[in-house]
């Protein structure tokens, strides 16, 4: 996988899209982003001191049913990186990575289709290392607050190494710790409480509501106090 590095870009995902015609696997790293994006169109704070990268990968036989495995693999790569610095991560469905009860990394994935199969994935990752997250106090955390302040470049290299190593769905599940707990589900304007039961092999979340068992393919969840 070829590597491109920048001091500043608007968004590593958006830059990666300009590389699509070459059909080459590329890792794009930036020291900061001016218009970093999260899920649901939200902005993603991307000041100096974090790892901001996008992995552009092309496939020859990726069926749509395995789309969730791309997301799961990215989350595992982030977790492996944090574990190398003795930080204990956990995955909040579907792909937020948390540590000490706060968000430490975000993942934004955009898949492209061709002839009914997944042609490529654009996997954007933002990992808080020493960047200032005080504006999100109580919500976000960085590695420095958890006792690890390695060089950002080193963390980026580790993340790339782990991303290039295969992973299994079992590794993803092993880092999911909220199953069996009460959660608040948001689907559009509707909110309700449920109990998280299990994550199915296609990435959907099975929950128990007052009306019975449901399976979520989208929406957002928030963990409720035990």
pLDDT per position as a tens digit, 105-154: 999 999 999 999 999 999 999 999 999 998 888 899 999 999 999 999 99
Distance (Å, whole) CA 53 – CA 159: 9
pLDDT digits (tens, 9 = 90+) for 182-200: 999 998 889 999 999 999 9
Q: What letter would DSSP give residue 140?
A: B
* pTM of structure: 0.92
**What is the DSSP pairing of strand 2-9 with strand 26-33?**
parallel
- Using DSSP, state whether 170 is helix, strand or coil: helix
Round to whole Å and give the CA distance between 18 and 110: 14
Domains and CATH numbers, the chain: 2-174 (3.30.930.10), 182-223 (2.30.30)
How many residues in the chain? Answer: 226
Given pLDDT bands bounded at 50, 70 and 90, which one contains residue 163?
A: very high
Output DSSP code: residue 80.
H
Q: What DSSP assignment string belongs to 1-66?
A: -EEEEEEEES-HHHHHHTTGGG---EEEEEEEESS-B-GGG-B----TTEEEEEEEEEEEEE-GGG
Ramachandran assignment for 40, one of left (phi > 0), alpha (psi -120 to 50 degrees), beta (any other): left
pLDDT (tens digit, 9 = 90+) per residue, 123-136?
Answer: 999 999 999 998 88
Q: In this structure, what token pair is assigned to residue 196?
A: 């998280």
Could you give the angle at which helices 152-164 and 67-83 cross, rounded to 10 degrees? 140
């Amino acid at each position: 996988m070829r590597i491109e590095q920048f001091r500043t870009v608007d968004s590593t995902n958006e830059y990666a899209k300009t590389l699509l015609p070459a059909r080459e696997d590329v890792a794009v790293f930036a020291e900061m982003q001016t218009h970093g994006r999260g899920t649901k169109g939200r902005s993603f704070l991307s000041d100096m001191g974090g790892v901001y990268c996008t992995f552009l990968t092309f496939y020859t036989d990726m069926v749509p049913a395995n789309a969730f495995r791309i997301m799961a693999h990215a989350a595992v790569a982030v977790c492996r990186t944090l574990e190398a610095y003795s930080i204990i991560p956990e995955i909040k469905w579907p792909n937020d990575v948390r540590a000490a009860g706060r968000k430490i990394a975000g993942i934004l994935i955009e898949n492209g289709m061709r002839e009914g199969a997944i042609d490529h994935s654009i996997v954007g990752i933002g990992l808080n290392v020493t960047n200032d997250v005080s504006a999100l106090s109580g919500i976000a955390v960085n590695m420095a607050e958890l006792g690890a302040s390695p060089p950002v470049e080193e963390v980026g290299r580790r993340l790339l190494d782990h991303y290039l190593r295969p992973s299994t769905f079992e590794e993803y599940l092993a880092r999911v710790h909220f199953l069996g707990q009460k959660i608040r589900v948001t689907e559009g304007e509707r909110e309700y409480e449920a109990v998280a039961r299990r994550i199915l092999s296609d990435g959907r979340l099975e929950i128990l509501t007052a009306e019975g068992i449901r399976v979520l393919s989208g929406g957002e969840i928030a963990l409720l106090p035990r």
